[in-house]
Amino acid sequence: MATPIAPRREAGATGRRWLVLLPPLLLAVLLPRPAAALVEGLYCGTRDCYEVLGVSRTAGKAEIARAYRQLARRYHPDRYRPEPGDEGPGRTPQSAEEAFLLVATAYETLKDEETRKDYDYMLDHPEEYYSHYYHYYSRRLAPKVDVRVVILVSVCAISVFQFFSWWNSYNKAISYLATVPKYRIQAMEIAKQQGLLRKAKEKGRNKKSKEEIRDEEENIIKNIIKSKIDIKGGYQKPQFRDLLLFQILLAPFHLCSYIVWYCRWIYNFNIKGKEYGEEERLYIIRKSMKMSESQFDSLEDHQKETFLKRELWIKENYEVYKQEQEEELKKRLANDPRWKRYRRWMKNEGPGRLMFVDD
């Protein structure tokens, strides 16, 4: 019975030895890989950049540039002529081109102070293999243009596009209002009272055609509409403070203003228990309706007065008002011929209905 126990003991001893050796093996894998100072694929490869240019590690920028110009003239593929007894790396046009590329790489490495520091550090600390790869490719693949400049130019371009787009929408709104009889008649009466139409006709009687006089009168009407009507919402007159660039610049100010406003709100209405003013009541109503500030401002004044009379800033009153609006919408849709046709189509031939046509 003792014979089969010996192999088990040996297996247990072998397993314990592996457990003892496992931490050193893992540590050997995780430790930085030892490497030679010159690595293929980094900088000048297995050649020393200082030796390629024929300068010492203490050479200055002027000496490095002078050595590069001399070697570049010597090994340039278009100007290279092998001399008798030339035993350098560029004895043939192909090898001369390789030598020229190597010289250019050495100069690009040593002319920049930061890259030269990384290269000198690699020569002094060859054991930090992965760190050298990281520094080399992080500098090589880094964007050549400052990211801040790209962001600034992009924001400015978007702001310019916003401004002209909003201005185009504003002019379209003015042109449309000039065709609405209600606003056109009012604008013409104001123009007649101020004598603008008569002046336009007198000025252009002998010099301008009828079409030019008509265009001038149209511009007068549009200018009066611009000055008398305050358009809000998506077609309002564009302002510089609404552009993305100015919104970003004013973001800290808006954030501080909001914090101050919120603290005052908490102190006045939650702690001291003051009654809401008209501005605060309209703000609560707008939040309940989930409308933006521009959308709420585009509403007529009589609508806002109705909201205040019905005390919609109180949650219970707003729920009743919301239910009434939904019921009214259902009644309008029930009496709408187009909605009736749509419901009939959904019932008889709507999506999901299978129909078979017998030929």
SS3 for 288-319, per residue? Answer: HHCCCHHHHHCCCHHHHHHHHHCCCCCHHHHH
Q: CB–CB of 109/126 below 8 Å?
A: no
Tens digits of residue pLDDT in 48-78: 889 888 888 888 889 989 998 888 888 777 7
Domains of the chain: 49-141 (1.10.287.110), 148-199+211-238 (no CATH), 275-346 (no CATH)
pLDDT at 86: 52
Q: CB–CB of 278/307 below 8 Å?
A: no
Percent of the chain with pLDDT over 90: 14
Q: Which two tokens stand for residue 22?
A: 């496992």
Identity (one letter) of the amino acid at 259? I
More confident residue, 213 or 271: 271
Helix axes 337-348 and 315-335, enclosed angle (nearest 10): 80
pLDDT at 251: 92
pLDDT at 223: 84
Q: Which of 20-24, 81-85, 288-292 has the lowest mean pLDDT?
A: 20-24
Of 48, 54, 88, residue with least CA distance to 69: 54
Identity (one letter) of the amino acid at 343? R
pLDDT at 253: 93
